[in-house]
Structure 1
């Protein structure tokens, strides 16, 4: 443990004076954003009409964030470092925005916010104001890759940013409220996956200001020795900066950062010069400062600074004349007349404390990853094609085939090191093990000689935390690289809210011309709902698709390839895309293969199509349309079609397969959606449509609700029924099997007439026979197991 020594004085008296003035300017700008609507420099007495009618924002964490920002600027200038600043307490945005304004970047990105009194007026007004900007460090905040709207992901984002970025240091401020979250607690372990030779470094800064919204925080209240043991147990060397006196705290912080960067430089030199990549003990700074530092000590006789009352807006009732007067005194305590010149511009001596150009944290290219993004080199996916002797005759494992393709993607981009594959402990289970032929799993902890594919410089990332994998991948993409994440379908829900935040970030970025596109967030969901032979009901949930479809149409994509060749087509397309969230759902078990590569390319290019070889309605109207989306739904649909040919040979059946789920929406709702004419041409305007779907049936009805024939759609899907059982019985439990499909056709096609009684009896007998067989033998009947088209 290190304690920054007050006796050390790395800053001269003049530097301390300037630091206090810069910090006062940042705090003034922060308070002004929260409160002021006019009179930005208080050049006339403050009146109620100068303040905002709705006071929104967070003050408590803000002065600490700008304090850290100031001292990191000193390090950048002194040591010529590239530092990306991530703030877990994203609601401290007033301080970050103030820093951006002080170093001129904000005006460069938003020329209307000029560096004068008029610009200050606009800068203040826009904050948390209709037509303005959010109160978090959003995409509109220069240099930000982390909004912090939902707490818990700052540290995993930081590590994701520095993987394969050896020259980057990410200073990650962790709020002590955020430190109570599960994702953050796990993210501390990211240091076991960092290669000091080829990766950058993360400097965590645990900011303990003591309180959340209305409660104390755990890490602020445990004994210092216990906190030290905790951080050491995570593998870090804590350096403490504690106090509240401004001059002394500046000296302490400067000392602590010098010590931390000395340690980082020594670690990296040892790894890069001496080739020693043994996991080091990285520094972490613990900054203990008052909540609402520099703000009002008391309001109405109640403790405010260094207490939870400073968390959001200290003065909430400005119609109270005393509060308005106290706000004016607070603002004037920063002496704005000493910080801004007659025009309202920040004085040059304060501007000079910032680095210049792209060294500014608000202008660093890593904070706008699209500037750094380079296209992946991709192999020709057609070379990995599965040979098809005849539709439905051959078997293969789709995701295993995809693994061979991803192996070569990894190989072709090894020199640029801009592609990683991630999974929460499931890479091989998901049949993507071929990538380990090119690289190992990243691992920088103890190893044994019998361990499998573990190495410090590995580029397959596995940790049993969906949150951490997601955070790593987002940080990696947001700083200009590419990635691919696989996960069991049921447990991708763990990151629902993280995906939600990323989708909103992408939407916001599209509204900012200076934000460049980043590589898409690509998911493979496998070990899916229909093949949980031993895991059972707990592993059965296809609802992530519904979650993604709720996002903006220009962001969300869902693909349900029925076999290996279509999976290859889809994966190649997704890796070439940008600013998307692509969800691919595909099983990992050996299954029937349907389309040769030429057919698969045509099919995936349209996202939907008639399988002519499976249909018998060509040249006339069908009696029924059988549609399917997903690999098991496709299998059961094809089996139902074969049964219908045997039982009702005169019935005209059209078979449609859907790969791109979003084609079902109207074109005015989604860019991939079909025009009404094309939809009606495929599904007809008045015939019954039996749609066999991978997920929850309600989603299909929602997607096609505007279509002319929507009332004739009857959807088979997951009905929240499941158990540990055979693959076919899982379909039976949810009425998604071939027998229930055929019975539904009989119920919906009026022309079948009196033939139906014996057929329905036969179908129900088969279901009884099936149940008896699996209960006796523990596997599906041979006619099910060995079925082919």
Structure 2
């Protein structure tokens, strides 16, 4: 690929008057940022500053903020001059003082929070609320107009930016990447997102790498490599870096204005070539590298030590523990000359306010930043039409995720014109048996191709890259700007995004408490290639613990589903794609397995979320002797196999089979909206009979969900005990005591039986386990009695 030379700035240079107004806005934004960190009162310094005016506890981050303010006002200039539709993402973790300041200056903040008006009293409230009990945090949270990226945890800003740009052809996402953030793994990988951006149908991302040199207390890597190396790095990533470097404000204003004009010209040229000229080669997208001082315009020296341009400016440059610091703060704030920026009523002077774009062209009011306002429901085909025929429970096998893939294929087709649905996954769509999707679309791909490639296209709806971080971040950005999606992943490796799902759950929880935030489509996970069928890949691929992690989140956010077969999976998939403001986790196997319920039965069962399988139970005439409960496809199979053995060995035993699809039904309804009442739970599980519970994951979670139930002391859970290996499928469940023989043994342990009956049944179990070990050691596969087992016809 031919590399362009270092680009020259284009566009008309700024006049002195323009620079003066832009500089005034920047001063105002910096003033407001310092005020938020330090002040409780006296917001415009109408009187000499006193300690009573200062917050008793100083929180926030100053170091990155002036750079964000500088970029924001210049982005406003180019938006207004060109009528751009632009979104602003602040990657630096605690840049909220600047983002909030600019949204107030634009007027949006007062529109959504009328109590914080565009005047002196509004400023007082704005300052007081920042990092203050009952107020707002120090990062751009859901409370912040214009934000889809909190930044409380570093690494995801560029992924959110690209997720927002996909299928938004008129949108430019300006993403400021902090140089500390640039050291994180997710951010380092996310530069490759440009290989998945289609200039013909997607919007554009303008990355702005902000190099201010330091993290909390040490230099940043990218700020300490040579210009030549930095330039080569980003050209190697496929970008055309435009460098802006300096300290003197007048020169920097001119330089960044020229750089932004150049970048936007190049973006528009790339898009025009793709949309009008049919150019299909991957472009070199522009990016900007801004070098500025950390804590720019702040105190240069504090207590005899360097502050501006050094790591000491990272957070609060100085505390108020010394009397002279009060004078230093007042001198700093007065250096912005607030009397020149605000009128007698505390309003931003109109000539400065006129720099802001109007209406929803303001980045703080862009509807894409409140994606629920743009969200439209998916067009979904009738899931029941994809039903797998089930004449007799367990008689035939099916591949649940393959059936789901056929349904998703038609979801893609139904929404092809709207272009508001994508499937994300780390190189596993086909591996997870969703390959039927490729009958409707290809993989998104804008890098090089060769003649042997299949299913690669810049317009593909399937996003595959071998980075769970990228898939998660792209999908979050896509959802937050009003679209829909599904993330398919191997169960063991979804843990890679544990922290990212934490942040998304916190965003959803907070956003539900912000009145003007509209609901967004749910974050839907399909976890397959799961623990019980990773026998061939070994222990490294065997971990069902993501569910435990997700269940820690707020109850009104989290849903977890264990559909036991294809028809229940179809129902659950349809349900999740119709939901909003949720994190839905679906766990389903991809291997051929018995199909239990016809579609009519599946709909009824999944609507309840939990229920007795009467065809597998024999306790209608009275109370059961034992309840056999199961959640998950393999636990369901092993439970039913155990029940069939009990029918033969202990025919007088009354057994009730309870299957759980919606895991959260196990919690009391006082703790989760899907939870069963105590009376409903007792009706299913009894108040005093043993419950042998076969669970897909770690047993402790079931005990945690049910510990307040009447019969909790009689619930005995079998699940994954961290015993894994490269072995056979059935040996996996045997190693973890989840197999039919151990389940049967547990029944014998906890049900009163004649001694002779128990002894013979126990011996049968022991013999079968010995035979199992001998058989797999000799043949390398499970014995026929296991492989070929079927639920008895007519049972």
Match for residue 191 of structure 2? 188
Displacement of 1:319 in angstroms is 3.2
In structure 1, runs of 5+ residues without a counterpart are: none
Query: What residue is the counterpart of 1:234 in the other structure?
Result: 237
Residue 9 of structure 1, CA deviation: 6.5
**Alpha-carbon distance in structure 1 between the residues aligned to 2:7 and 2:638:** 68
Which residue of 627, 632, 640 maps to 1:638?
640
CA distance in 1, matches of 2:516, 2:10: 45
**8 Å CA contact 1:59, 1:314 repeated in 2:** yes
SS in 1 for 2:210: strand
Cα distance in 1 for partners of 2:113, 2:130 equals 14
Instruction: Classify the secondary structure of the residue corresponding to 1:649.
Output: coil
Local SS of the residue matching 1:378: coil
Choose the corresponding residue for 1:568, options 567, 570, 574: 570
Contact 1:4-1:241 at 8 Å conserved across structures: no
Cα deviation for residue 443 of structure 1 reads: 0.5
1:549-698 mapped onto 2 (5 Å cutoff): 549-698=551-700
The match for 2:64 is 61
Aligned to 1:88: 91
Q: Is the 8 A contact 1:6 1:251 kept in 2?
A: no
Please state how far the C-alpha of 1:6 moved relative to its aligned partner: 9.2
In structure 1, what is the equivalent of residue 325 of structure 2? Answer: 323
SS of the aligned residue for 1:368 comes to helix
Q: Deviations over 1:578-619 (max 9, x none)?
A: 000000000000000000000000000000000000000002
CA contact (8 A) 2:9 2:262 kept: no
Is 1:48–1:319's contact at 8 Å kept on the other side of the alignment? no
- Structure 1 residue 45, shift from structure 2 partner: 1.0
Instruction: Give the equivalent residue in structure 2 for 1:709.
Output: 711
Q: Which residue of 2 aligns with 1:201?
A: 204
Note if contact 1:8-1:251 (Cα within 8 Å) is conserved in structure 2: no
Report 1:361-510 matches (<5 A): 361-510=363-512
Partner of 1:125: 128
Deviations 1:505-552 (CA, angstroms, capped at 9, x unpaired): 000111111100000000000000000121110000000001111000
Mapped to 1, the partners of 2:247 and 2:8 lie a distance apart of 15
Correspondence for 2:779: 777
How far residue 677 of structure 1 moved from its aligned partner, in angstroms, is 0.5
2:224 — aligned with what? Answer: 221
State the distance in 2 between where 1:751 and 1:38 align: 78
Q: Which runs of 4+ in 1 moved over 6 A?
A: 1-9
Hey, what's the Cα distance between the residues in 2 that align with 1:752 and 1:451?
Answer: 66
For 1:90, what is the secondary structure of its paired residue? Answer: coil
**1:336 aligned to 324, 335, 338, which one?**
338
Contact 1:2 1:238 (8 Å CA) reproduced: no
Measure the CA separation in 2 of the matches of 1:773 and 1:707: 42
1:345 Cα offset (Å): 1.0
Cα displacement string for residues 713-752 of structure 1 (whole angstroms, at most 9, x for unaligned residues):
0000000000001000000000000000000000011244
Which whole-Å CA distance do the structure 1 matches of 2:600 and 2:29 have between them? 61
1:10 aligns with 2:13: yes
Worse overlay, 334-343 or 630-639 = 334-343
| Equivalent position SS for 2:424 | strand
Structure 2 CA distance for aligned equivalents of residues 274 and 751 of structure 1: 81
User: Aligned residue for 1:144?
Assistant: 147
Q: More displaced, 236-245 or 753-762?
A: 753-762
Residues of 1 paired with 2:26 and 2:167: CA distance?
34
Could you give the per-residue CA deviations for residues 479-524 of structure 1, whole angstroms, max 9, x where no partner exists? 0000011000000000000000000000011111110000000000
In structure 2, list runs of 5 or more residues that go unmatched.
none
Give the CA deviation at 1:90: 3.3
Does the CA-based 8 Å contact 1:569-1:604 persist in structure 2?
yes
TM-score (norm 2): 0.98
Deviations along 1:80-135, whole A, 9 cap, x unmatched?
11010011113011001000000100000000001111111100000000000111
Aligned residues: CA RMSD: 1.1
Contact 1:467 1:494 in 2 (8 A): yes
Q: Distance in 1 between the 2:75 and 2:203 partners?
A: 16
Secondary structure in 1 aligned to 2:236? helix
**In structure 1, the residue corresponding to 2:208 is in which secondary structure?**
strand
**Cα offsets for 1:444-470 (capped at 9, x unmatched):** 111111101101111110000000000
Q: Secondary structure at the match of 1:204?
A: strand
The reply to whether residue 280 of structure 1 matches residue 280 of structure 2 is no
- Aligned-partner SS, 1:609: strand
Q: Specify the alignment match of 1:212 in structure 2.
A: 215
Does structure 1 conserve the Cα–Cα contact (< 8 Å) formed by 2:9 and 2:261? no
Q: Supply the distance in 2 between the matched residues of 1:110 and 1:619 (Cα, whole angstroms).
A: 63
Q: What is the rounded CA distance, in whole Å, between the counterparts of 2:11 and 2:483 in structure 1?
A: 41
Question: Residues of 2 paired with 1:143 and 1:591: CA distance?
Answer: 48
SS at match of 1:750: coil
Map of 2:257 onto structure 1? 254
The answer to whether structure 1 residue 300 and structure 2 residue 300 are counterparts is no
Separation in 2 of the partners of 1:319 and 1:775?
73
Native 8 Å contact 1:628 1:658 kept in 2: yes
Distance 1:260 1:785 in 2: 62
**What's the secondary structure of 2:232's corresponding residue?**
helix
Q: Which residue of 1 aligns with 2:27?
A: 24
Cα deviation digits, residues 153-195 of structure 1 (max 9, x gap): 1111100001000000000000000101111111100110111
